[in-house]
Structure 1
Amino acid sequence: MAVWIQAQQLQGDALHQMQSLYGQHFPIEVRHYLAQWIEGQLWDSVELENPQDELKAKRLLDSLVQELQRKAEHQVGEDGFLLKIKLGHYASQLKSTYDRCPLELVRCIKHILHSEQRLVQEANNAVGSGGGGGTMDSLSQRHQQINQTFEELRVSTQETENELRKLQHNQEYFIIQYQENLRIQAQLSSLSAVPAEERTQRETSLQAKRATVEAWLTREANTLQKYRLDLAEKHQKTLGQLRKQQTLILDEELIQWKRRQQLAGNGGPTEGGLDVLQSWCEKLADLIWQNRQQIRRAEHLTQQLPLPGPMEELLTKLNSDITDIISALVTSTFIIEKQPPQVLKTQTKFAATVRLLVGGKLNVHMNPPQVKAVIVSEQQAKALLKNESTRNDSSGEILNNNCVMEYHRTTGTLSAHFRNMSLKRIKRSDRRGAESVTEEKFTVMFESQFSVGGNELVFHVKTLSLPVVVIVHGSQDNNATATVLWDNAFAEPGRVPFVVPDKVLWPQLCEALDMKYKAEMHSARGLCDDNLVFLAQKAFSSASINPEDYRSMTMSWAQFNRESLPGRNFTFWQWFDGVMELMKKHLKPHWNDGAILGFVNKQQAQDMLMSKPNGTFLLRFSDSEIGGITIAWVAENPNKRLVWNLMPYTTKDFSIRSLADRISDLNHLMFLYPDRPKDEVFSKYYTPPLSKAVDGYVKPQIKQVVPEFTTPNPEPSSGNPTYMDQAPSPSVAHPINFAIFPPIDPMMDADGEFDLEDTMDVARHVEELLRRPMKTSNGFGPIGLYFFVNSQR
């Protein structure tokens, strides 16, 4: 109810906007008397495009009707009697209106609530800024400027309407007097048949009257011409304001919305404000159409009574100008509300939504237009924007690519929802140099034809989606995502499709990586300065550069995702994307808890741990393996203290046993760096103990051990767990090697980490482990997963 209380305090244009949300489709009285109930329902839990949620919507409709009926029954007294009848009528009306389409009721109420919240927020921002004595923020100032200009345009349009009516009235009176003059001339011509004495007297009278009328006609003709010229001048001024306002809305506000939509593809804030843009565009359309109709009426008056002067040419120019303005408005407001996926896999269903922001105001929905979707190449997109393409060739075949636009009366939106499109095939162009298929960009073009004013004006409109990269296999997703991220981050408004800079400043790339990382983690905890320094050292393959120097360094696309890192078979982006994939699937809670340092190299880990007590450990991302994370810990060696590193875990490992459970298994790990007891950090993620035996069977449990850090097994006794004395089962065991720092095992890579092939079978790992001695000559040993059983029967 808090929103409704604040909404009732709105003033001026905001109050008018709020009131315009209500009508026959949803009476404002229902909102008032059921305010608390309405704001307490979970309207956003209903997905409007999901037919399966229609049952939820039906329950909400029934509950709303019941609440209205209950409210009506509690009304007493004379005033209560009238309200009882009114609320009962509204209950029946809503039931009959939405019973067959309950999702439309949810759409209506969601639109109302979101609009009220926006209006209240804007009003609070304005009051807060003004009351504090400071200047309004730029957003509020710009919105206030736009609304103020609309008020000025409304006033000037009303003034020209009044002037036009005055002109029409004066012209009609002029025509009457002109007809009177013709009648006097006819009477003078007929005097020849009248006797001379009487003719002279009547002729003198008629001539005097004709002279008076002709003098008035001459004077009034000049006045009419002046009125016409003044009216044309006012229209010219209004058109200048309309053009300026339209430029502000379409070339700034709408372009900024599209930019936010593009950044949302990289994980930026979800674009909002489309309803505000639609309200502005509808006001523009209304004012432009009113002025156009006025100009047309002025042309009609000029044709009715031609007068000497430039009026006809002026009105022709005004008509042409205002038609250009409305044409730009219609073609620019045909937008993609929901973009198709930017990494588009063939033979896979995808969706998109297009919307005409002025469709309801210009009554386009009276003859619902059809929208067609086709996929075109980068070269075809360039030709389309230059109006060079005369053929309708596409670069592929999209199934279910036709859709009729639907008008939603409750929200006033005209849109087409493509729900089941699928790219059947794609035709690729010849690639240049080192460019791969995952660097080739396409776009989905939506096109339609609208008629306005009873086919008076017909517009053929097209709009292009954000660039899409077409893949045929999931293994291409990583590189395709890199192309999309680079394009979304560094594309400039108004560019030639789909040109992006080949090099960007490192801080710009950091901003894009941080945005993507936070979006994948669904967390405000992104990449800190130390993380970004680590990434810079990896990207530029140098740890000796001063961190401040990275700010002025540039990174090319080739360095980002075309050239492999030194000594590796993967690129910088492939490594970073592997980290995000691992974190997103298995380790997101631990990152958000601050338990994972992650972006730390082996030398840094050693320096950090050597000053800490034995058993202190940290988690860092593997340098040598995509999507790997390792545990580094400090422990005592017979000769000296060393930092040990486990072979990296990957997503396959965590699908068998979670990170928290693995850390719980390893008793030699005691403190998470710098000094947090591990149970304090990870215990809430431990898997609960197994239940007791059922029907005489004991359930096995996988447990991880590092043999060199495992205390001798206790003697089997009742109630105590024991390790099986046989080898771990190949189906559940995954022996993992570990390394100590600083010696390097000859079987390890330069970082001291094993580089096992992804396709190596787990069973073969186990067999290798069983053939190895538990203590090797260089002091390294295996780590494994063992069955852990409860001996209780």
Structure 2
Amino acid sequence: MPPEISVCRTRQLTWARLDAKRAARTRCRRSTMAMWIQAQQLQGEALHQMQALYGQHFPIEVRHYLAQWIESQLWDSVELDNPAEEAKAKRLLDNLVAELQRKAQLQGGEDGFLLKIKLGHYASQLKSTYDRCPLELVRCIKHILHSEQRLVQEATNATSGSGSQAMDSLSQRHQQINQAFEELRLATQETENELRKLQHSQEYFIIQYQENLRIQAQLSSLSSLPPAERTQRETTLQSKRATVESWLTREASTLQKYRLDLSEQHQKTLGLLRKQQTLILDEELIQWKRRQQLAGNGGPHEGGLDVLQSWCEKLADLIWQNRQQIRRCEHLTQQLPLPGPMEELLSKLNSDITDIISALVTSTFIIEKQPPQVLKTQTKFAATVRLLVGGKLNVHMNPPQVKAVIVSEQQAKALLKNESTHSESSGEILNNNCVMEYHQATGTLSAHFRNMSLKRIKRSDRRGAESVTEEKFTVLFESQFSVGGNELVFHVKTLSLPVVVIVHGSQDNNATATVLWDNAFAEPGRVPFVVPDKVLWPQLCEALDMKYKAEMHSGRGLSEDNLVFLAQKAFTSSSNNPEDYRNMTISWAQFNRESLPGRNFTFWQWFDGVVELMKKHLKPHWNDGAILGFVNKQQAQDMLMSKPNGTFLLRFSDSEIGGITIAWVAENPNKPGERLVWNLLPYTTKDFSIRSLADRISDLNHLLFLYPDRPKDEVFAKYYTPPLSKAVDGYVKPEIKQVVPEFTTPNPEPSGGTPTFMDQTASPSVSHPNNFGVYPSINDTMLDADGDFDLEDTMDVARHVEELLRRPMANQWSSQQS
């Protein structure tokens, strides 16, 4: 390709990318601005929730008048748990204040005078509130934007008939929960009204009872009066007393009925509260925890915690209101004892509602950010715990302290069975105490452990073939909360997802296998940390696909053909029919304990090597569809032999962890007319750190078409490294290129007509004393019987390149310079 055409194409690509970026920015502005417009269209409970996001900490007027500016800032780029990000947050605060002041100055005329004063006041208010803690402003605005987006999305899903079935189901569940809350609110309001009626009736009863006592006292004092007067007054007072006592008898019966009716209403309300709490804690919260666990395998990031908190806070509010009502009933009963079972009923109600609130508090002490599941000793790690009802129950008025300890699987079992009252530790964690902080802007009560480090670990005796990377631990977080002015005290504990402790990076691969298997196949409510020894092959496929998609950051996961290839490798099978594997099971030993036949690595180690290679160096090519990858040598040969010479494909090496090779079809240089499929020595991460895949493919002129028929430049040109600059200060910068001598094709001769080494056509018998800047020639002694390479007999490529780059080049350049 002529240089001017190459430059022109590069410029076209550059301008195309710039246009795409501008278009993306425009779409982003339109969509974000539309979010505030849509938020203003919310109705009912959604509108109420949106309005509740704002207050003195961040006025809604600021959101309205700076909508476009607020939504154009990169709030999510600020790491809230990193103190070093405070400077970035401070700039955002200063810019927000400046933007408010600018907006205020633009207000003119009589109508704009008050708005000008108001916006100026808000600018000063925000500056004074967040100047010393700018990260809290970022936390506040992120919470507002995410909550608005959720509310708008839920409203859209509720009104749109084109949403997916999953979203429809989610919307229906949310609607069901919200309707139940409305029913509970009405029931609680009704019992409150009835309680007030009961209180008023009882107060009037007591007044009448006192009146009856006064009449009796008057009758007792009549003995001192003359007989005639005494008889007259006694008759009147006795008649009055009879009337009052009759009323008191009837009213006592009425009061008793009121109390029993109110007790029954409270029992019904408590039944509704239990049902709602079960739905939220045993279904919604468990599902959130399951999503969090699957996120450890690359599943969608767990969301919806703010929704869960809003539900839990509503529960806490309603439970507390009902508890206060029951306590007031108890007080009324003590104030006016009446015959009947009320005392026992109220005692039972009080006990039941205390159990409900206890379950709510202990269940909503959760781990918002899990510690790393592969935990290396002497390495800093972080975690965040959160109490979803902390703000509503005013737990922050007496900020609790949380402690973290690491415990073994056996210790975790004992804790959950309540066989152990004190927390034994299986290791020492530094910086393992943290006070919970209340963030007023978001209404969250949480403890951020930012600088924990596992100093040492105490391992248990392992069973059979179990290795240290199969041993599971967990981080236990525990604290003590007081509610209602120390009226109720709760000791709470929560366990992290299982962690595998390693001491060296070489153990990471096997530890990740243990974590992936646990995350994928753990069942809710299991005994810590039991997982099945065998699972159906499709279940493992789902876990592998989830992991692969996450690492590639794209929707292109593992196809059915890819999964058949993996099944063939796992089960040492030759069947190409996916149905043959659908009911097969794979054991943990097959997954990552037993080596593959003829290899010194396991199925998982091979797969993880592929993932690491792709993630570090080949992700764009996989997402472009340029890498077939999961193809064996025979399949590659069958696919290529029907294609023109120069057609090639990229497949993962069967014999090496984290290796990828190029297979291509071409004439046999030694036997004209004979066509063969050739396989290059597999590349690894080390090779791609020297020269990229795209540049290596560019170097090999005999590679023409990416299978099935795509010109290679069409696929890879955008990834080629630009040509090196000219000599600087008399020095020429060396350039690394690779050749396969048997397939080197001549390039146009440089000016002067003398061919260089890179222009010469080589054959296996040709010796090249000046092979500088290229990879070693491939000769027949490096190929095995199948045309693949014997890795043990080949030279370390990186070291060879370094050796080649030293003396020969330097000597030649010196002679040229002289």
Q: In structure 2, which of residues 800, 803, 814 is the aligned counterpart of residue 768 of structure 1?
A: 803
**How big is the shift at 1:40?**
2.2
The residue aligned with 1:50 is: 82
The residue aligned with 1:624 is: 655
CA deviations on 1:682-735 (whole Å, 9 max, x unpaired) are 111111111110111111111111111124688775598833899999999999
CA contact (8 A) 1:10 1:123 kept: yes
Decide whether aligned partners of structure 1 residues 719 and 746 sit closer, same or farther in structure 2, where only a CA change above 3 A counts.
closer
Greater shift after overlay, 741-750 or 552-561? 741-750
Decide whether aligned partners of structure 1 residues 440 and 706 sit closer, same or farther in structure 2, where only a CA change above 3 A counts.
same
CA contact (8 A) 1:718 1:791 kept: no
Give the match's secondary structure for 1:753.
Answer: coil
CA deviations on 1:20-69 (whole Å, 9 max, x unpaired) are 11111111222222222222222222222222222222222222222322
**How big is the shift at 1:134?**
10
**How big is the shift at 1:85?**
2.4
Alpha-carbon distance between aligned partners in 2 of 1:431 and 1:135, rounded to the nearest angstrom: 43
Decide whether aligned partners of structure 1 residues 192 and 365 sit closer, same or farther in structure 2, where only a CA change above 3 A counts.
same
Alpha-carbon distance between aligned partners in 2 of 1:198 and 1:719, rounded to the nearest angstrom: 151
The residue aligned with 2:11 is: none
CA contact (8 A) 1:407 1:413 kept: yes
CA contact (8 A) 2:736 2:773 kept: no
**How big is the shift at 1:83?**
2.4
**How big is the shift at 1:130?**
6.0
**How big is the shift at 1:563?**
0.6
Decide whether aligned partners of structure 1 residues 370 and 133 sit closer, same or farther in structure 2, where only a CA change above 3 A counts.
closer
Report the structure, 1 or 2, having the larger helix content: 2
Alpha-carbon distance between aligned partners in 2 of 1:235 and 1:189, rounded to the nearest angstrom: 44
**How big is the shift at 1:258?**
0.3
**How big is the shift at 1:265?**
0.4
Structure 2 spans left out of the alignment, 5+ residues? 1-32, 810-814
Give the match's secondary structure for 1:419.
Answer: strand
Decide whether aligned partners of structure 1 residues 70 and 547 sit closer, same or farther in structure 2, where only a CA change above 3 A counts.
closer
**How big is the shift at 1:75?**
3.0
CA contact (8 A) 2:782 2:793 kept: no
Identity %, equivalent residues: 91
Decide whether aligned partners of structure 1 residues 70 and 415 sit closer, same or farther in structure 2, where only a CA change above 3 A counts.
same
**Residues 340-379 of structure 1: pairs in structure 2 closer than 5 A:** 340-379=371-410
**How big is the shift at 1:137?**
1.6
Give the match's secondary structure for 1:222.
Answer: helix
**How big is the shift at 1:738?**
19
CA deviations on 1:268-298 (whole Å, 9 max, x unpaired) are 0000000000000000000000000000000
CA deviations on 1:349-386 (whole Å, 9 max, x unpaired) are 11000000000000000000000000111111111110
What TM-score does the superposition give when structure 2 sets the normalisation length?
A: 0.89
> Structure 1 residue 69 and structure 2 residue 101: aligned?
yes
Structure 1 spans left out of the alignment, 5+ residues? 775-789
Greater shift after overlay, 715-724 or 328-337? 715-724
CA contact (8 A) 2:678 2:787 kept: no
Give the match's secondary structure for 1:335.
Answer: strand
CA contact (8 A) 1:624 1:753 kept: no
CA contact (8 A) 2:375 2:502 kept: yes
CA contact (8 A) 1:250 1:332 kept: yes
CA contact (8 A) 1:728 1:766 kept: no
Q: In structure 1, which of residues 739, 744, 747 is the aligned counterpart of residue 782 of structure 2?
A: 747
CA deviations on 1:245-277 (whole Å, 9 max, x unpaired) are 000000000000000000000000000000000
Give the match's secondary structure for 1:746.
Answer: helix
Alpha-carbon distance between aligned partners in 1 of 2:323 and 2:316, rounded to the nearest angstrom: 10
Alpha-carbon distance between aligned partners in 2 of 1:364 and 1:12, rounded to the nearest angstrom: 30
CA deviations on 1:549-590 (whole Å, 9 max, x unpaired) are 111111111100011111111111000001111111111111
CA contact (8 A) 1:714 1:722 kept: no
CA deviations on 1:162-213 (whole Å, 9 max, x unpaired) are 1111111111111111111111101111111111111111111111111111
Give the match's secondary structure for 2:56.
Answer: coil
Give the match's secondary structure for 1:130.
Answer: coil
Decide whether aligned partners of structure 1 residues 738 and 559 sit closer, same or farther in structure 2, where only a CA change above 3 A counts.
farther
Greater shift after overlay, 410-419 or 719-728? 719-728
Alpha-carbon distance between aligned partners in 1 of 2:44 and 2:678, rounded to the nearest angstrom: 70
CA deviations on 1:112-161 (whole Å, 9 max, x unpaired) are 111111111111111xx469999982111100000000011011101111
Alpha-carbon distance between aligned partners in 1 of 2:766 and 2:410, rounded to the nearest angstrom: 53
CA contact (8 A) 1:34 1:68 kept: yes
Decide whether aligned partners of structure 1 residues 736 and 289 sit closer, same or farther in structure 2, where only a CA change above 3 A counts.
farther
Alpha-carbon distance between aligned partners in 1 of 2:590 and 2:799, rounded to the nearest angstrom: 37
The residue aligned with 1:782 is: none
CA contact (8 A) 2:741 2:777 kept: no
Alpha-carbon distance between aligned partners in 2 of 1:485 and 1:740, rounded to the nearest angstrom: 41
CA deviations on 1:714-773 (whole Å, 9 max, x unpaired) are 877559883389999999999999999999967656754334359975588689999999
Alpha-carbon distance between aligned partners in 2 of 1:206 and 1:766, rounded to the nearest angstrom: 121
Decide whether aligned partners of structure 1 residues 131 and 697 sit closer, same or farther in structure 2, where only a CA change above 3 A counts.
closer
Alpha-carbon distance between aligned partners in 2 of 1:313 and 1:629, rounded to the nearest angstrom: 76
**How big is the shift at 1:792?**
10
Decide whether aligned partners of structure 1 residues 714 and 56 sit closer, same or farther in structure 2, where only a CA change above 3 A counts.
closer
CA contact (8 A) 2:735 2:773 kept: no
CA contact (8 A) 2:701 2:745 kept: no
Greater shift after overlay, 251-260 or 663-672? 663-672
Alpha-carbon distance between aligned partners in 2 of 1:556 and 1:742, rounded to the nearest angstrom: 42
Size of the aligned set, in residue pairs, is 776
Decide whether aligned partners of structure 1 residues 237 and 542 sit closer, same or farther in structure 2, where only a CA change above 3 A counts.
same
Alpha-carbon distance between aligned partners in 2 of 1:769 and 1:624, rounded to the nearest angstrom: 28
CA contact (8 A) 2:649 2:707 kept: yes
Alpha-carbon distance between aligned partners in 2 of 1:718 and 1:208, rounded to the nearest angstrom: 140
Alpha-carbon distance between aligned partners in 2 of 1:662 and 1:532, rounded to the nearest angstrom: 28
Greater shift after overlay, 50-59 or 319-328? 50-59
**How big is the shift at 1:94?**
1.4
CA deviations on 1:318-374 (whole Å, 9 max, x unpaired) are 000000000000000000000000000111111000000000000000000000000
Alpha-carbon distance between aligned partners in 1 of 2:425 and 2:354, rounded to the nearest angstrom: 31
Decide whether aligned partners of structure 1 residues 177 and 406 sit closer, same or farther in structure 2, where only a CA change above 3 A counts.
same
CA contact (8 A) 2:380 2:452 kept: yes
CA RMSD of aligned residues (A): 4.0
Alpha-carbon distance between aligned partners in 2 of 1:392 and 1:730, rounded to the nearest angstrom: 70
CA deviations on 1:63-100 (whole Å, 9 max, x unpaired) are 22223223333334444322222222222211211111
Decide whether aligned partners of structure 1 residues 26 and 136 sit closer, same or farther in structure 2, where only a CA change above 3 A counts.
closer
Decide whether aligned partners of structure 1 residues 684 and 77 sit closer, same or farther in structure 2, where only a CA change above 3 A counts.
closer
Decide whether aligned partners of structure 1 residues 739 and 654 sit closer, same or farther in structure 2, where only a CA change above 3 A counts.
closer
Decide whether aligned partners of structure 1 residues 131 and 374 sit closer, same or farther in structure 2, where only a CA change above 3 A counts.
closer
Alpha-carbon distance between aligned partners in 2 of 1:79 and 1:120, rounded to the nearest angstrom: 32
Q: In structure 2, which of residues 653, 671, 685 is the aligned counterpart of residue 651 of structure 1?
A: 685
The residue aligned with 2:699 is: 665
Greater shift after overlay, 46-55 or 484-493? 46-55
Alpha-carbon distance between aligned partners in 2 of 1:761 and 1:136, rounded to the nearest angstrom: 54
